[in-house]
């Protein structure tokens, strides 16, 4: 199963501050995703990223959010000016790719351990 | 639009017994995938099992199996020989096409396995 790490594991920030959440897959993948889960609620899709472009985004993913792959390996989610309601677990996911050593099913998303974001 | 519904907010089962978690979904597409993910207290999302809609045979992974009823749009998860480590939130999810599309999740079922 493909491995994905996320940093930091927990981020505490003040309202209005910018945060950058990082996702590092162990091997190369083409599809990346960000999801969030507000405490006690269901997991919600934010954005998908394919071939270095956003392929789909939800209504949650407004102008305060952006994604990029700055160095071809890390995949980042930036929130420009955090709000209290941005407090949540943020999960990165990658689509398994059997072309690479990490394998996994090419039609299955594998999740990182998540970053817990707390906005005060 | 896709929707996924899990009607059981909480369930409990005795260790070594069998439990079934329910999930229904709605989609107008023919090509889609269905998944069950487990979220233990650590909050990591772990894949339990997946099912391709075009396959009639129900997926099985060790103690986990599904009952996929395509006409009824039902996708239940059966856990046999429940173990204490199965205690977790279980989320049902669907994705269109080859699974590369976004996952749409249900609200989850909190399963507690009692000793």
Tens digits of residue pLDDT in B40-76 = 998 889 999 999 998 889 999 999 999 999 999 999 9
| Cross-chain CB nearest to B108 (options A42, A45, A114) | A42
pLDDT of residue B99: 64
Extract the tokens encoding B82. 């429940």
- Mean pLDDT value of segment B1-15: 95
Cβ within 8 Å, pair A42-B103: no
At A34 the pLDDT is: 96
Which residue among A41, A48, A108 sits closest to B47, beta carbon to beta carbon? A108
Q: Which residues on A lie below 8 Å from B98 (Cβ)?
A: 106-107
pLDDT grade, residue B35 (50/70/90)? very high
Q: Do A89 and B99 touch (CB under 8 A)?
A: no
Q: Contact B43/A114, CB-based, under 8 Å?
A: yes
Any chain B CB within 8 A of the CB of A33? yes
Contact state of A111 with B37 under an 8 Å Cβ cutoff: yes
Question: What's the Cα-to-Cα distance from A46 to each of A32, A57, A78, rounded to whole Å?
Answer: 11, 6, 12
Which residues of chain B does A89 touch, with a Cβ-Cβ cutoff of 8 Å? 43
Instruction: Check residue A97 and report its DSSP letter.
Output: B
Interface check for A43 against chain B (CB to CB < 8 A): the answer is yes
Looking at per-residue pLDDT, the higher value among A2 and A64 belongs to A64
Q: How far is B95 from chain A (nearest CA, A)?
A: 9
Q: Burial letters for B63-91: b for 16+ Cβ neighbours within 10 Å, e otherwise?
A: ebbbebeeeebebbbbbeebeeebbbbbb
Which residue did the predictor score with more confidence, A101 or A82? A82
**Residue B113 contacts A where some CB pair is shorter than 8 Å:** no
> Across the A/B interface, how many CB contacts are shorter than 8 Å?
67
Q: Does residue A86 have a pLDDT over 60?
A: yes
Give the helix/strand (H/E) hosting B42.
none
- A44 touching B (Cβ < 8 Å): yes
B48 and chain A in contact, CB less than 8 A: no
Q: Where does the pLDDT of residue A21 fall: very low under 50, low under 70, confident under 90, or very high at 90 and above? A: very high
Among A117, A119, A120, CA closest to A10: A117
Please state the separation of Cα B104 from the chain's center in Å: 12
What confidence tier does A97 reach under pLDDT thresholds 50, 70, 90? low
Nearest chain A Cα to B6, which residue? A42
Average pLDDT over residues A91-106: 67
* Confidence at residue B97, expressed as pLDDT on a 0 to 100 scale: 75
pLDDT at A100 over 50: no
**Interface residue A58 vs chain B (CB under 8 A):** yes
């Amino acid at each position: 199963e493909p491995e994905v790490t996320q940093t930091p594991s927990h981020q505490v920030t003040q309202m209005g501050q910018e945060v950058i959440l990082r996702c590092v897959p162990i091997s190369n993948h083409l599809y990346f995703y960000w999801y969030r889960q507000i405490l006690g609620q269901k997991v919600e899709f934010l954005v998908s990223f394919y071939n270095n472009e956003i392929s789909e985004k939800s209504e949650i993913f407004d102008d305060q959010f952006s994604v990029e792959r700055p160095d071809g390996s890390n995949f980042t989610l930036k929130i420009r000016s955090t709000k209290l309601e941005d407090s949540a677990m943020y999960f990165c996911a990658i689509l398994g790719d059997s072309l690479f050593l990490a394998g996994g099913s090419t039609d299955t998303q594998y999740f990182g351990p998540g970053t817990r974001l707390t906005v005060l | 639009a896709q929707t996924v519904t899990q009607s059981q907010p909480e369930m409990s089962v005795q260790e070594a017994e069998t439990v079934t978690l329910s999930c229904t979904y709605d989609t107008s597409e023919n090509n889609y995938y269905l998944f069950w993910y487990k979220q233990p207290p650590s909050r990591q999302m772990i894949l339990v099992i997946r099912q391709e809609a075009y396959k009639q045979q129900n997926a099985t992974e060790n103690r986990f199996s599904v009952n996929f009823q395509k006409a009824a749009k039902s996708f239940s998860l059966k856990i046999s020989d429940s173990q204490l480590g199965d205690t977790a939130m279980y989320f049902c999810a669907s994705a269109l096409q080859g699974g590369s599309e976004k996952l749409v999740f249900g609200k989850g079922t909190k399963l507690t396995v009692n000793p």
